Chain A
Amino acid sequence: MPKLLVCYKWVLNEQDIKIRPDDLSLDTSRAKGKISDFDRNAIEEASLIVEQQGGTVDALSYGTSAVKQSVKDVLSRGPNRLLWVGDPSAEEADAYVIASVLAAAIRKNGPYDLILCGEGSSDMFYQQIPARLAALLDLPCLTFVQKMTLEGGAVTALRKLGDCTEQVSVTGPAVVSVLSEINKPRIPSLKQVLGAAKKPSEEIPIASLGLTPEELAPKAVRKSPKGFLMNRKNVVYKESDAAANVAKLVASLAAEGLR
């Protein structure tokens, strides 16, 4: 029976983030958390595999204490158990730190037959964690997977790489990153939501992972994120007479030399 791990990140919903017009700083005060979009596909894929062929799925996340809010949502999507590392270091963590923490947690709780991740997180979109994890754990890595099967310990996958697709296979434990088109994440049923409350979740104290201070210090430090300013004319024609609106737009296009 395969033992699967799926990694996910609890992120701020970017649609809720506002830009302060005075200094372009980011106002995240009203932003709610969510499971990072592509990680939902990874969770779904891991859950589908074990629902079809048996086995177990552990979900693993590293974040600030806010990651606690994700427990019910994640467990209602299929995983049997949730492991999470909550630590303030996650606030400033770069992909180097995140991969160090996740790899240490995997060494402590593994081994796993398959480790699944999303293509990238919807906040930072570093797209680094899968290949970094594979390098740290000395596992082969299949990135940008559109379709996959796990059969008798062998993974066959279709990777989508911009200008081509590539059919690949690997035997034995591997790290796989999935694209959003691999599946449609479920909307958990009431039964699945209620069932989630009975599943185990466990906090892994960061101190128990044996990481050095160097491994928890980001190599890439983010400085003063600034909102991207949309500087547009914002002329909107919204009369009830569609033909009048069209005439005004045509005049505007002519004025811009774009007719």
Chain B
Amino acid sequence: MAATFIFSEDAALARQLLTPALALGQPVVALTTDPAEAQTLASLGAGRVLLLKAAATSPEALAPAIAELLAKEQASVVLVGGTLRGKHLAAHVAAALKAGLTTDAKALALVDGKLETQRILYAGLAVSAEVVTLPAVATIPQRTFLAPAPAAQAGTVESVEVAADTRVSVLNVTPMESEGVDITAAIKLVSVGRGFAQKADLALARELGAVLKAELACTRGIAEDEHWLPIERYIGISGQTVKPELYLAVGLSGQVQHMVGCRESKVIVAINKDEQAPIFEAADYGIVGDLYTVLPLLTAALKN
């Protein structure tokens, strides 16, 4: 019988993948390289778990072996956790299976023997359905779904020996510097952009944030180009996606690549000196003015 296969090297994401996989109504087979996770996935509803035993366990190195395994198993749907490593794996698998692949699927359904998915186009400007012929592959971003509750009956775990692709040598892995701040959990965010002339001026945003009890977030440029804030604080298509109660955007123009990461916020406020900036179209409230004048006034007014 046709089955849905899932894989993610990220344990939390692998569990989340079970939810859309089970909802498709087909038997679910989970692939993992982690013996402890194999049991967990079996207990959460995977009917079968294939525990992959290989000399290297990075998704990229396992891609050819996983593609071969999926071809042998005649997988009908393959859901892969949408980390960057997962996206690499999924694209390799899709090419090997001559399959279509939806990148960053937000919703999935099996309709008339095809996989229907939803995703964004043009950096978030538009949303489109994709109808994918089976076998179909999709990558799913972190936190799109919640992990399911334990299943009534645990699935079985089998070990499978697979060969790793050794053409690429990994010389060194360095964990990214992290402050350990999860801005996706923040209730309020003050988000800064290029309107700030220098790093020291971010103090104005920090002072406002302190009064509002808000975390500091930023645009890609502030994190990636200026390195004024760590990358875990940047919002946008290749950064974090947040849904706070308040998103207060200061000195950022509101390009679609940024807004896609924050447009589900409950209230969006913009402070920008350019009245024509697209951020005002995306905002509930805004002040047209120089942030160097407005922020100290706002901080003082909120203190009272």
Chain A residues with a Cβ under 8 A of chain B? 12, 14-15, 17, 19, 26, 94-96, 99, 120, 122-136, 140-144, 156, 161-170, 180-181, 218-228, 230, 232-238, 242-243, 245-247, 249-250, 252-253, 256, 258-259
Q: Which of B122, B132, B167 contacts A219 (CB 8 A)?
A: B132
Chain B residues within an 8 Å CB radius of A123? 121-122
CB distance from B288 to the nearest CB of A (A): 4
A221 CA to B100 CA in the complex, in Å?
9
Contact: A234 with B283, CB < 8 Å?
Answer: yes
A8 CA to B90 CA in the complex, in Å?
21
Contact: B85 with A96, CB < 8 Å?
Answer: no
Q: Which of A142, A163, A218, A226 contacts B126 (CB 8 A)?
A: A226
A225 CA to B98 CA in the complex, in Å?
25
Chain B residues within an 8 Å CB radius of A143? 60, 84, 87-88
Contact: A141 with B288, CB < 8 Å?
Answer: no
Of all A-B residue pairs in the complex, the 7 with the closest CB atoms, nearest first, are A219-B100, A220-B100, A131-B91, A135-B95, A238-B288, A140-B167, A128-B91
With A14-B125, A130-B91, A242-B289 as known contacts, state yes or no: A96 contacts B168, CB within 8 Å.
no
1/0 per position for B88-116, CB-CB distance to A under 8 A?
Answer: 11111011101111110000000000000
- B148 at interface, CB cutoff 8 A: no
A226 CA to B237 CA in the complex, in Å?
18
Contact: A250 with B91, CB < 8 Å?
Answer: no
- B269 at interface, CB cutoff 8 A: yes
Contact: B283 with A232, CB < 8 Å?
Answer: yes
Contact: A249 with B126, CB < 8 Å?
Answer: no
Specify the chain A residue showing the minimal Cβ separation from B115.
A220
Q: Is the interface of A mostly helix, strand, loop or mixed?
A: mixed
CB distance from B141 to the nearest CB of A (A): 11
With A161-B85, A168-B168, A228-B124 as known contacts, state yes or no: A234 contacts B284, CB within 8 Å.
yes
Chain B residues within an 8 Å CB radius of A120? 103
Chain A residues within an 8 Å CB radius of B34? none
CB distance from A133 to the nearest CB of B (A): 8
A149 CA to B278 CA in the complex, in Å?
39
- List 14 interface pairs A-B (beta carbons < 8 Å), by A numbering: A96-B94, A96-B95, A96-B100, A99-B95, A120-B103, A132-B92, A135-B91, A143-B87, A161-B85, A219-B132, A234-B286, A249-B287, A252-B285, A256-B246
A156 CA to B171 CA in the complex, in Å?
9
- B133 at interface, CB cutoff 8 A: yes
Q: Which of B96, B129, B178 contacts A224 (CB 8 A)?
A: B129
CB distance from A174 to the nearest CB of B (A): 8
CB distance from A13 to the nearest CB of B (A): 10
- B128 at interface, CB cutoff 8 A: yes
A135 CA to B93 CA in the complex, in Å?
8
